[in-house]
């Protein structure tokens, strides 16, 4: 599993998350940590999980899972997502241009500030996501 490192082992965190959220359908690692999933990725981590409103609500109250170095978004209707803890954030996969590139890979675009504070502009950056649970094995 690519999510290891930092002060708390990421695989332990993922196992605790999965035990607490039985209705989680899949969990994806986003961005820089997903860019090279074969090596250990130190925190902070961004993740997105596919579940339902009830699971999102449960996660918001599960303070034992809340970590400042993990940003977890929950997709509740196959498009809209919200942050499970920390700074409130929401969005839509359609606006991220989320596209599956295989059973365990996806790509998406995010807006990001570029340039100096005096000459800032917004740029769309293409990022990778890797499914870390459940991992679908390819047929041999």
- Nearest to residue 66, comparing CAs of 20, 32, 121? 20
Tell me the average pLDDT of the chain: 86
CATH number of 10-133: 3.30.460
Q: Model's pTM, two decimal places? A: 0.84
Minimum mean pLDDT range among 83-92, 94-103, 129-138: 129-138
- With 70 as the cut, is the pLDDT of residue 68 above it? yes
Please say if the pLDDT value at position 3 is more than 60: no
Give the pLDDT of residue 72: 96
Question: CB–CB of 70/47 below 8 Å?
Answer: yes
Element of type H or E holding 73: strand 70-75
Residue 65: CA atoms inside 13 Å, Cβ hemisphere, count?
21
* Mean pLDDT along residues 66-89: 95
**What per-residue confidence (pLDDT) applies to 139?**
56
The residue ranking higher by pLDDT, 4 or 116, is: 116
Residue 2: left if φ>0, alpha if ψ -120 to 50, beta else—which one? alpha
Which sequence spans correspond to the domains of the chain?
10-133
CA 46/CA 36 separation, integer angstroms: 14
What is the structure's pLDDT at 7?
38
Measured CA to CA in angstroms, residue 20 lies from 16, 78, 103, 104, 139 at distances of 6, 21, 24, 23, 30
């Amino acid at each position: 599993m690519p999510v290891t490192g930092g002060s708390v082992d990421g695989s332990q965190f993922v196992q605790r998350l999965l035990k607490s959220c039985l209705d989680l359908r899949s969990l994806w690692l986003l961005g820089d940590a997903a860019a090279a999933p074969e090596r250990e990725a130190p925190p902070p981590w961004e993740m997105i999980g596919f579940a339902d409103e009830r699971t999102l609500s449960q996660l918001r109250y599960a303070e034992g899972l809340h970590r400042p170095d993990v940003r977890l978004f929950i997709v509740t209707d196959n498009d809209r997502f919200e942050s499970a803890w920390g700074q409130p954030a929401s969005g839509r996969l359609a606006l991220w241009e989320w596209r599956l590139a295989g059973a365990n890979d996806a790509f998406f675009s995010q807006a990001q500030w570029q340039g100096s504070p005096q000459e800032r502009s917004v740029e769309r950056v293409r990022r990778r996501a890797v499914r870390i649970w459940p991992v679908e094995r390819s047929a041999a």
